[in-house]
């Protein structure tokens, strides 16, 4: 039987980072990854350029049944800490928007950084090496059944991720293992995911597929300003992905189509400047032409502006600021970037990510009930939670 101080289940961002920190502390570490390579989700992130952190990452950017749980780990390893590591490896990067940091080159640079740090820390990595069972050992530690054969360790770190993007190998293994050791799971659902519209509504927006619009979207007490993208299934784009973490089935979705304007004042001004212009023509000055046409077909008419009285213009403005969609669901884990819910944080130490129920057991990254906003926040949680556990194992 092979023995290590620490075994990390999962070779994603959180698992590798935990392994690095533990290895730097002189621990013998094995990372077990069930797929054929580590860092698969890192490689596809940020359009292939890896949005590796966000300068603004703070507890308020994360969802959890315990909103304060992430505070300790995020304070212990900050975005500036990871930026310093990126710079130490000579990786050029840039800020795209809203604090989002991307590699100038490719996401492969971040995976190479992690692998280089693993090599320097003496971390052993095995791919195609699924763990099939884990049991407590009398006197402390764990015995694992794996494709490699039996493995024993003093500390076991579960960094197996969530259910998002199953075609990349995502499974519910981490949740099953947590339950095996007495943990409860906060119900999971797809997060940062496109929303779908019903077949009774979708044809109305068929001509808009592929068109993006800057909007402000609200649901369930949350609001985000960014782009909305019309798709063949419904709605996507950064604003929709963000709000999907808050939207609940059956709830309406309010969209401000002119978030940076006072629509009533603007329309009144346009009526004075070009009274003969139709509403469709005027809206096309602020919105994509096909979007303006669709809105008029669905809710307005083609009269010249001079034929609109003040109450009518105010009603048009109100509709533009509060356009309502009623999604019927999401595209699910197939396209979701993250999984909401996970291992109940009330059963974990916020400073070390250690189980309060099973000594020597740790949970980090997406498998935990902590989910960040779109824009590098989930990577920062991976680094921070991995670091916290790596310092403790």
Q: What was the pLDDT predicted at 266?
A: 97
What residues contact 91, with CB distance under 8 A and at least 6 apart? 103, 104, 105, 109, 110, 113
- For residue 278, the 8-state DSSP code is B
Q: What are the φ/ψ torsions at residue 294 (nearest 5 degrees)?
A: -65, -45
- pTM (2 decimals)? 0.96
Q: What is the pLDDT of residues 50-90, one digit of tens each?
A: 999 999 999 999 999 999 999 999 999 999 999 999 999 99
Percentage, residues of the chain above pLDDT 70: 100
> Distances in Å between the alpha carbon of 338 and those of 46, 202, 357?
13, 26, 26
Helix 13-24, helix 377-390: angle, nearest 10: 30
| Mean pLDDT value of segment 8-13 | 98
Q: For the segment 171-211, what is each residue's pLDDT rounded down to a tens digit?
A: 999 999 999 999 999 999 999 999 999 999 999 999 999 99
Output the pLDDT for position 337.
96
Residues 6/377, Cβ–Cβ less than 8 Å: no
Measured in residues, the chain has a length of 393
Do the beta carbons of residue 164 and residue 341 sit within 8 Å? no
Question: In this predicted model, what pLDDT tens digit does every residue of 316-371 receive, in sequence order?
Answer: 999 999 999 999 999 999 999 999 999 999 999 999 999 999 999 999 999 999 99
Question: Which residue in the block uniquely carries the two structure tokens 């952190």?
Answer: 53
User: What pLDDT, in 10s, does the model give residues 139-171?
Assistant: 899 999 999 999 999 999 999 999 999 888 889
The CATH superfamily label for domain 195-330 reads: Translation factors (2.40.30.10)
Q: What is the pLDDT of residue 214?
A: 98
State the DSSP string of 85-121: HHHHTT--EEE-STTEEEESS-THHHHHHHHHHHHHT
**Is the fold of 2-190+336-390 the same as that of 195-330?**
no
Does 250 have pLDDT greater than 90? no
The pLDDT value recorded for residue 220 is: 87
Nearest 10 degrees: Cα torsion 53, 57, 63, 67: 140
Query: What band does 391 get if pLDDT is binned at 50, 70 and 90?
Result: very high
Domain boundaries, the chain: 2-190+336-390, 195-330
Q: Which two structure tokens, joined as six digits, stand for 294?
A: 């669709």
Q: Which fold has domain 2-190+336-390?
A: FAD/NAD(P)-binding domain (3.50.50)
Looking at the predicted structure, is the pLDDT value of residue 301 above 90? no
């Amino acid at each position: 039987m092979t023995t290590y101080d620490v075994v990390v289940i999962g070779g994603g961002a959180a698992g590798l980072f935990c392994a690095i920190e533990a290895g730097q502390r002189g621990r013998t570490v094995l990372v077990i990854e069930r797929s054929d390579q580590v860092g698969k989700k890192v490689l596809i992130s940020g359009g292939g350029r890896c949005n590796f952190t966000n300068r603004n990452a703070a507890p308020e950017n994360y969802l959890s049944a315990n909103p304060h749980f992430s505070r300790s780990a995020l304070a212990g390893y900050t975005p500036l800490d990871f930026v310093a590591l990126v710079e130490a490896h000579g990786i050029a990067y840039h800020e795209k928007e809203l604090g989002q940091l991307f590699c100038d080159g490719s996401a492969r640079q971040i995976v190479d950084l992690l692998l280089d740090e693993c090599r320097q820390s003496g971390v052993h990595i095995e791919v195609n090496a699924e763990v099939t069972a884990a049991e407590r050992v009398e006197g402390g530690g764990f015995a694992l059944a794996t494709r490699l054969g039996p493995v024993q360790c003093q500390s076991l770190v579960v960094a197996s991720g969530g259910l998002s993007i199953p075609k990349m190998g995502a499974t519910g293994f981490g949740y099953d293992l947590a339950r095996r050791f007495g943990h409860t799971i906060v119900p999971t659902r797809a997060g940062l995911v496109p929303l779908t519209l019903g077949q009774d509504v979708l044809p109305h927006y068929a001509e808009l597929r592929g068109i993006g619009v800057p909007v402000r979207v609200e649901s369930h007490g949350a609001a985000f300003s960014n782009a909305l993208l019309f798709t063949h299934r419904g709605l996507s784009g950064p604003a929709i992905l963000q709000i999907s973490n808050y939207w609940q089935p059956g709830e309406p979705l309010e969209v401000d189509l002119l978030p940076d304007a006072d629509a009533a004042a603007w329309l009144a001004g346009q009526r004075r400047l070009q009274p003969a212009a139709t509403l469709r023509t005027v809206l096309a000055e602020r919105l994509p032409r096909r979007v303006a046409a669709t809105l008029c077909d669905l809710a307005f008419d083609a009269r010249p502006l001079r034929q609109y009285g003040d109450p009518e213009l105010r009603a048009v403005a109100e509709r533009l600021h509060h356009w309502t969609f009623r999604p019927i669901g999401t595209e699910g884990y197939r396209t979701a970037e993250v999984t909401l819910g996970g291992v109940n944080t009330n059963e974990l130490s916020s400073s070390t990510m250690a189980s309060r129920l099973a000594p020597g057991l740790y949970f980090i990254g997406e498998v935990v009930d902590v989910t960040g906003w779109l824009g590098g926040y989930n990577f920062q949680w991976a680094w921070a939670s991995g670091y916290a556990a790596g310092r403790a194992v």
